[in-house]
Amino acid sequence: MSDEEKAPDFEAAIKTLEGLVEQMERGDLSLEQSLQCFEKGIRLTRECQKALTEAEQRVEILMGKDADAEPEPFGEADDDNP
């Protein structure tokens, strides 16, 4: 299965995140359910950030800032390197 097939699209991920936030804000969830929602929210947030970064790179390439550039994967943010 490719990354595109297993990763939800950006809009679906945002909609899911909004639903998770609403559930958690209502306060009706148990601690375990809240933790599961939080974990899922963190995963979706990272996927959305990755999608936004890739889109930004594509726009930069299309705008001709560096015509020979290719998108590069970014690693996790490093506390030592802002």
The stretches of the chain forming alpha helices (DSSP H) are 3-6, 10-26, 31-62
Residue 72 lies in a domain: no
Residue 20 lies in a domain: yes
Q: Using a CB cutoff of 8 Å and minimum separation of 24, what contacts does 73-77 make?
A: 74/50
Query: CA–CA separation, 69 vs 82, rounded Å?
Result: 23
Residue 80 lies in a domain: no
The range of the structural domain enclosing residue 46 comes to 3-62
pTM of the model: 0.64
- DSSP code of 78? B
CATH assignment at residue 53 = 1.10.287
Instruction: Please tell me the predicted confidence (pLDDT) of residue 60.
Output: 83
Residue 69 lies in a domain: no
Over residues 53-78, the pLDDT tens digits come to 999 988 888 887 655 667 777 766 55
Structurally, the chain folds into a number of domains equal to: 1
Residue 44 lies in a domain: yes
Residue 29 lies in a domain: yes
Average pLDDT value for residue range 22-32: 94
